[in-house]
């Protein structure tokens, strides 16, 4: 017997807005139709699209996007953008994933790192170079080599072989590239040369217990013998993933990932990326609270299967069940989580 619920999978076809492409949307729909009586896919590109969807009053919205710009040309930079979690909760419609407070931190990597530091957790020393900022060599107080990436992009966008910089000239070149090609500030941090891990976090239904499911990611070595999860490697899915069998490492990275997840105020599920330094100590890299859920592709589904033998359809059902089984925080209580420093 299917559960008599109406679920709408929501994403966008506007560039850079959605974590779910057509293959991902169709796969999720097919999987969830095994359990629920009505599962639809809705494309949200305009406010009218959002209003029409809300008027249908689905039992749950499965979020494949976090915000909608009122002006599509501004995208993430639109100060009037609509956060879907806020909009849905104001209309008393349940949704998967985290709220606006956590999503804001996730999208601003430097704010996420600062929140992690404030929580007493480890992340590599960093600073932000704004797009129009003129850097001087005396501004750099971190130790080379440094790693440069966009402050508000995901999926490895803007990360390539030039992201590791060994001197000031290389640093300025990469910062200028990020500004001109992506119209983004750069986050600059001390490079971590150790192994890289991705940890899937999933709450157990009807409890406040979270499962931490790590896997190690091994990118192909570039011409310099360095392994970087660049945008090209992520899009081509050419990195290897392996089970974390070392008990001490698994415990350390799982503990850090859970600490970061809670420090960011995340809900239900998400992915935390971690890298080791030269001493083997784990450091927070970045969070993805709306990770790719494509069957056989995303690190989140891979980690669920590798650690807990949770297959794709069961994983999606778990995410939906979590969203349906809890009382979502009110809009006002979510806003209270956004202190002025993180708005």
Q: What is the pLDDT of residues 78-114, one digit of tens each?
A: 888 999 999 999 999 999 999 999 999 998 999 999 9
Greater confidence (208 vs 3) lies with 3
**H or E element that contains 129:** strand 126-129
Q: What is the pLDDT of residues 230-276, one digit of tens each?
A: 667 766 667 788 999 999 999 999 999 999 999 999 999 999 999 99
Paired strand residues for 116: none
pLDDT at 159: 85
Other beta carbons less than 10 A from residue 4's beta carbon: 9
From 11-15, 71-75, 135-139, 183-187, the region with the lowest mean pLDDT: 71-75
From 83-97, 110-124, 146-160, 273-287, the region with the lowest mean pLDDT: 146-160
Strand, coil or helix: what is 314?
helix
Q: Which two tokens stand for residue 190?
A: 């001390």
pLDDT at 65: 94
Q: At what angle do helices 109-118 and 247-263 cross, to 10 degrees?
A: 110
By the 8 A CB rule, do 100 and 85 touch?
A: yes
The pLDDT of residue 335 is above 80: no
Percent of the chain with pLDDT over 90: 69
DSSP of 75-126: GGG-TTPEEHHHHHHHTT-EESS--HHHHHHHHSHHHHHHHHHHTT--B--E
The pLDDT of residue 342 is above 60: no
pLDDT at 231: 66
Q: What is the pLDDT of residues 195-221, one digit of tens each?
A: 999 999 999 888 888 999 999 998 777
CA angle 64, 29, 47 (to 5 degrees): 40
């Amino acid at each position: 017997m299917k559960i008599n619920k109406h679920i709408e999978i929501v994403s966008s076809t506007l560039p850079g807005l959605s974590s779910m492409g057509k293959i991902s949307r169709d796969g999720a729909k097919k999987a969830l139709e095994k359990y629920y009586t009505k599962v639809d896919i809705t494309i949200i590109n305009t406010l009218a699209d959002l209003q029409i969807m809300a008027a249908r009053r689905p039992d749950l919205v499965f979020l494949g996007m976090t915000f909608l710009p009122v002006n599509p040309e501004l995208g993430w930079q639109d100060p009037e953008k609509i956060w879907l979690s806020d909009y849905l909760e104001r209309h008393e419609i349940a949704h998967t994933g985290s709220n606006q407070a956590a999503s804001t931190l996730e999208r601003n990597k430097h704010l996420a790192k600062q929140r992690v530091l404030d929580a007493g957790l480890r992340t590599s020393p960093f600073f932000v170079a704004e797009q129009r900022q003129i850097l001087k060599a005396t501004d750099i107080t971190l130790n080379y080599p440094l790693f440069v990436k966009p402050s508000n992009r995901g999926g490895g966008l803007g990360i390539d072989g030039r992201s590791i910089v060994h001197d000031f000239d290389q640093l300025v070149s990469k910062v200028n590239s990020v500004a001109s090609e992506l119209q983004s500030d750069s986050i600059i941090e001390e490079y971590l040369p150790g192994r890289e891990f991705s940890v899937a976090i999933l709450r157990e239904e009807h409890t406040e217990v979270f499962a931490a499911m790590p896997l190690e990611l091994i990118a192909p070595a570039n011409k310099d013998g360095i392994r970087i999860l660049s945008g090209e490697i992520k899009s081509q899915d050419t990195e290897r993933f392996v089970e974390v069998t070392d008990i001490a490492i698994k415990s350390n990275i799982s503990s850090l990932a859970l600490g970061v997840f809670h420090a960011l105020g995340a809900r239900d599920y998400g992915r935390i990326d971690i890298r080791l330094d030269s001493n083997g100590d784990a450091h927070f890299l970045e969070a993805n609270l709306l990770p790719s859920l494509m069957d056989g592709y995303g690190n989140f589904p891979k980690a669920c299967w590798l650690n807990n033998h949770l297959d794709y359809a069961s994983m999606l059902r778990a995410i939906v069940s979590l969203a349906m089984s809890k009382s979502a925080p009110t809009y006002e209580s979510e806003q209270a989580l956004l202190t002025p420093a993180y708005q």
